[in-house]
Amino acid sequence: MAVSASVLTAFSLNTMSNYSLSDVAIETWVQGGPMSLTDLLGSVVLVDVFQVNCPGCFLYALPKAIQLHEHYHDKGLKIIGLATAFEDYDKNTLGNLERLLETGEVIGETLKALTHQGMLTDGKLEWRLPFPVGMDRVRPETEALTQERIIGYTRNCLPGFDGLSEERKLTALNQIRNYLQQKTMKAETFERFALQGTPSSILFDRKGHLQNVAFGQSENQQSLIEQCLKSTE
């Protein structure tokens, strides 16, 4: 699920060059914690960002994360599952995340999609996440919806905004305005790393430096992980 996938493109890492592993905000560890992310320095870290009410997260992103864990865990890759909420706040909750991890029970659009695909047994997942999982720090949104905020949010998500045609600028601003109008909560990690939706992934090297942020299915994710694992710098 995307904020505005028809307009937003992958953001420039240059705008996030000072961000590191310690900037990932985890409010609650639901599985495999508690831990300090700085304890993972020395390992390559992939943060797999998902929502409980996100079919695509369960159809391909999380199964792919499990495959990466099985293949690279012994080679120095640590994967963290991070549940967030940028929409459907009544479904993307800590309680539903806890239920998912404890019982395999899915809800909402995820339940509908996986049932249609025949991927559930008695309404529950047949697999479990083998890595630590936490909940993003989500707080009530208190900032007023001003034109300045809309423009700033758009520029943060779309670094090439100022170079767009006036028509595309207007389209982007309208999409962001519509999104912010229904946005009653603020997910700290999701917004800090300018994520466009879920599933997303955030990759850090062994020193905790940000290497990549991707939305959806990332074709070069595995090669980037291997490059980070090989690097000693």
The model's pLDDT over 77-88, given as tens digits with 9 standing for 90+, comes to 999 999 999 999
Q: What does the domain layout of the chain look like in residue ranges?
A: 13-140+196-230
What fold is seen in the domain 13-140+196-230?
Glutaredoxin (3.40.30)
Percentage of the chain beyond pLDDT 90 is 72
Give the H/E segment covering residue 90.
Answer: none
pLDDT exceeds 60 at position 4: no
How many Cα neighbours within 13 Å face the side chain of 51? Answer: 29
Token digits for 233?
A: 């710098």
pLDDT on residue 232:
65
pLDDT on residue 233:
56
Question: 41: Cβ–Cβ under 8 A, 6 or more apart, which residues?
Answer: 21, 206, 207, 208
pLDDT on residue 58:
97
Cα distance between residue 181 and residue 106, in whole Å: 28
pLDDT on residue 8:
39
pLDDT on residue 126:
93
How many helices (H) and strands (E) the chain has is answered by 8, 10
pLDDT on residue 182:
81
pLDDT exceeds 80 at position 128: yes
pLDDT exceeds 60 at position 3: no
- Whole-structure pTM value: 0.84
**Cα end-to-end distance, the chain, whole Å:** 35
Nearest to 157 by CA among 141, 173, 144: 173
- Of 27-31, 137-141, 153-157, the poorest mean pLDDT is in 153-157
Nearest to 62 by CA among 227, 206, 192, 201: 201
User: Judging by DSSP bridges, how do beta strands 138-140 and 185-187 pair with one another?
Assistant: antiparallel
Nearest to 94 by CA among 35, 37, 33, 28: 28
pLDDT band, very low/low/confident/very high, at 34 (cuts 50, 70, 90): confident
pLDDT exceeds 70 at position 12: no
User: Judging by DSSP bridges, how do beta strands 200-204 and 210-215 pair with one another?
Assistant: antiparallel
Residue 48: burial class (beta carbons within 10 Å; 0-12, 13-18, 19+) = buried
The 10 Å CB-count burial string (b at 16+, else e) for 176-194 is bbebbeebeebbbbbbbbb
